[in-house]
Amino acid sequence: MKNTLSQKISLGLTCALSCLGVALSTKLSASDNVPAPSQKTALFFSGATIHTISGENIVNGNLLIEKGRIVALGSALVAPAGAKLIDVKGKHIYPGMIAANTVMGLSEIQSVRASLDYAEAGAINPNVRAQVAVNPDSELISTARTNGVLATLSVPSAGPAGIVNGTSSLMQMDGWTWEDMTVQAEVGLHISLPLMRFNPELFPPPMDTRLEEIRKVSMQRLKMLEDAFEAAIVYRDAKKQSNGIKVDVRWDAMLPVLAGQRPVFIHAHDIAQMRYALNFAARYQLKLVIVGGTDAGLLADVLRERKVPVVIAGIHKLPLRRGAEYDSPFTLAAKLAQAGVQFCIARGGTDDDAPNERNLPYEAAVAATFGLDRNEALKAVTLYPAQILGVADRLGSMEVGKYANFFVSNGDPLETTTKIEQIYIQGRVVDGSTRQSRLTEKYQQKYLCSIKKSGLAAFFNSVPRENSL
């Protein structure tokens, strides 16, 4: 049946209104923070202690940034004509911290399945790219950056059957779209190893009857991993010999890994998993990074000799074994530093950890309390992750030519009492408010108004501060 002109107009209006409703509902559910406009005017900061991280601190230092990058810094630097002057005397300037193991932008509310997009179905998904799934309107972004975490590695995680999870992306914590947020679109391929601790003591009755079944499933999953790499090698060789081969996006995504152009991040915690990862990387000549590394101290010499970096997936956790020292997770960073192993400190990388990525500096603080040099602790969440992720030419320290991604604080960011007062991402002044701070202001107004209306304001003002709640 042909539609009349009026029917077509009516249908068009209905569709337009429907799309508008969807857009409005999406906007209402998005973060209230508006991304900052690009830097238009040169900014000159004066009087702060500049913590370069890569070198000596500059006391009473000056900093010039222009077009989103650091142009100059030093104690004798003079402000150029036309630059906006920002007095930060007595304050501290630090480069933005980098969280190197997260599902930031891929996970929002655990109880809302539609807001979780960090894992794909199936076991072999090398073609998955975290970059395009990142939600720039996530409320968790502002929560992380307000405590100095200005860049995160968004990592595709393993689903129930996941082994080859996909490619991670390094994102900065401000932007209208995931394109705006992207620092490095494709950082590395992530692999999750199955359970490899088959000690019968770990499976008391009635689980002991399932031990052999668990062992069998783990071996099958490792065989799937090896088969995937063998298939990718066959595909690579066939593609070199013929241009007419049918494209397979899965094996195409693995070609940079096989060529050594992109690292493989193997998530491994216990010593059996790490030994397998080392042998697997040697077999296929892969550029390996260990993520997790709870037992890395036991293999420190091997890791140093093979130049394998470790992304420590959390300091605030329990020991892996019943008989281990209680502080073994706390001292791991110090042991790796002493052994000369390249490392950085991150968090667990699960959807449980995503709302609390703001606590990254306190992970480093605990490592510093348990033997790690304090300067090394700062490097472990700034410069060292930048080096491991291949972006040290842009992030991780206060150096000329790097992105102007830094924050101004009233003290050491590893201290919980420190307040971060200003945030800059590529020279842009970033909103430091969060959903939590906005709710705090809202309810302060609500209850102050209630107190005033009730006539109790004079009473509360008369109560001595030491006796007040």
Domain hosting 321: range is 97-392
Regarding whether 383 and 251 lie in a shared domain, the answer is yes
Top pLDDT among 310 and 469 is at: 310
Regarding whether 225 and 82 lie in a shared domain, the answer is no
Mean pLDDT, to the nearest integer, of 168-172?
A: 97
Count of structural domains, the chain: 2
Tell me the percentage of the chain whose pLDDT exceeds 90. Answer: 70
Regarding whether 221 and 74 lie in a shared domain, the answer is no
CA distances, 427 to each of 63, 110, 188 (Å): 12, 34, 27
Regarding whether 187 and 89 lie in a shared domain, the answer is no
Regarding whether 409 and 377 lie in a shared domain, the answer is no
Condensed to tens digits (0 to 9), the pLDDT of residues 318-357 reads 998 888 899 999 999 999 999 999 999 999 999 889 999 9
Indicate the pLDDT class of residue 299, thresholds 50, 70 and 90.
very high
Would you give the distance in Å from CA 434 to the centre of its chain? Answer: 18
Condensed to tens digits (0 to 9), the pLDDT of residues 442-466 reads 888 888 777 776 666 666 566 665 5
Of 392, 414, 443, which residue sits at a domain end? 392
Long-range contacts of 54-60 (CB under 8 A, 24+ apart): 54/383, 54/396, 54/397, 54/398, 54/399, 55/397, 60/89
Measured CA angle at 415 (ends 409, 417), to 5 deg? 70
CATH of the domain at 181: 3.20.20.140
Indicate the pLDDT class of residue 25, thresholds 50, 70 and 90.
very low
Helix (H, G, I), strand (E, B) or coil at 131: helix
Is the pLDDT confidence value at 312 over 80? yes
Regarding whether 234 and 215 lie in a shared domain, the answer is yes
Whether 8 is in a domain gets the answer no
Residue 2 CB contacts under 8 Å (≥ 6 apart), including other chains: none
Predicted pLDDT at 116: 85
- Cis peptide before 206, with omega less than 30 degrees from 0? yes
